[in-house]
Amino acid sequence: MSLVIGVDIGGTKVAAAVVDEHGTMIEKERVDTPAQTSGSVNDAIADLVWKLRERHEVAAVGMGAPGFVSSDRSTVLFTPNLPWRSEPLGEEMTRRLEVPTVVENDANCAAWAETRFGAAQGERDVVLLTLGTGIGGGIVIGGTLLRGEFGIAAEIGHMNVVIEGGIRCGCGNRGCWEQYGSGRALVRDARDFARHSPALGQRMLELAGGDVDKITGPEVTQAAREGDPAALEIFRVFAGSIGYGMADLAAILDPGIFLIGGGVADAGEILREPVEKAFLERFTGRGRRPKPRIEIAQLGQEAGIVGAADLARQPV
């Protein structure tokens, strides 16, 4: 199998690319996601893939979807930001695109891409955290993607880290990890800081044009890179939430490497270093056992496409 198409499906955009066996993207296209109905989304995906198919001969299509994907690698059981409910996406796209089509969770795709072609090459046991609006996760164990019995493994953002009185999560529970360690949590803390202590949060406010509600992740990151004490403190607290949760995962999975991806990972060492420090504070048996590496993911926004394409090459 030489060329395949990888598709990364999001709530605001759909991106697709022709990918070779080395994980190199040959040509890429994208379109805004028309999320009114499942039919409108499916039509947009099919049209986008056919644009690439007209110029390239491909053997399969892999799709990364943001939600619960069944173990059949075809059915999207649920996704919060798109109208899919038990949607037979793989089956329909196989018919419409006239080539075998498989569907995976988008974070699973990113984890697989990093393991095959990115920061985790050569590792057999990998945990990827994607830090964005929430916390996504992908896990590779023994060189195999961990899907679970029903295909819904690695929803790590919904581990409960606060037993009582936690922040309400979109999943309906309280105290989920992503309410404390996601990009949304970072921004919430920064705005709260600037609102209650505008003198201390002055640099973040300046970068946001003086409007607290316009402080976003890039403003917090920029202020931290400049050495702003308030922004650095926000990152320290945020990184503690990430590192402590990773220590719990290490106690269960014992990976060789943790990767930090997603939009928040653009902060680089400003994030990675305090995450590692917090992780080591809670790491079970520290000093008496090997410790995993903690690295920033390498492939960025391309990971979902590349991983989806490569997974389309893998046997069911």
Q: What residues does each domain of the chain span? A: 4-112+302-313, 122-297
Give the orientation angle of helix 269-282 with respect to helix 229-253, to 10 degrees. 50
What is the pLDDT at residue 163? 83
Mean pLDDT of all residues in the chain?
96
| CATH code for residues 4-112+302-313 | 3.30.420.40
What is the pLDDT at residue 314? 85
Write the pLDDT tens digit of every residue in 68-126.
Answer: 999 999 999 999 889 999 999 999 999 999 999 999 999 999 999 999 999 999 999 99
Write the pLDDT tens digit of every residue in 275-315.
Answer: 999 999 999 999 899 999 999 999 999 999 999 999 999 87
- The structural architecture, per CATH, of the domain 122-297 is 2-Layer Sandwich (3.30)
Token pair of 293 as six digits = 């590496």
pTM (2 d.p.): 0.95
Give residue for tokens 């680089």.
268
Residue 170 has pLDDT above 90, yes or no: no
Question: Rounded mean pLDDT of 170-179?
Answer: 93
From CA 31, how far away is CA 6, in angstroms rounded? 14
Q: Which residues contact 181 (CB under 8 A, 6 or more apart)?
A: 131, 135, 157, 238, 241, 242, 245
Residue 210 has pLDDT above 90, yes or no: yes
pLDDT > 70 fraction of the chain, expressed in percent and rounded: 99
pLDDT category of residue 197 using cuts at 50, 70 and 90? very high
Question: Rounded mean pLDDT of 7-16?
Answer: 95
Give residue for tokens 């505008």.
198
What is the pLDDT at residue 316? 63
Token pair of 133 as six digits = 């609006």
122-297 matches 4-112+302-313 in CATH topology: yes
pLDDT category of residue 1 using cuts at 50, 70 and 90? low
Residue 164 has pLDDT above 90, yes or no: no
What is the pLDDT at residue 107? 96
From CA 93, how far away is CA 86, in angstroms rounded? 15
Residue 129 has pLDDT above 60, yes or no: yes
Q: What is the DSSP letter of 174?
A: B
Question: Rounded mean pLDDT of 55-74?
Answer: 96
From CA 45, how far away is CA 7, in angstroms rounded? 8
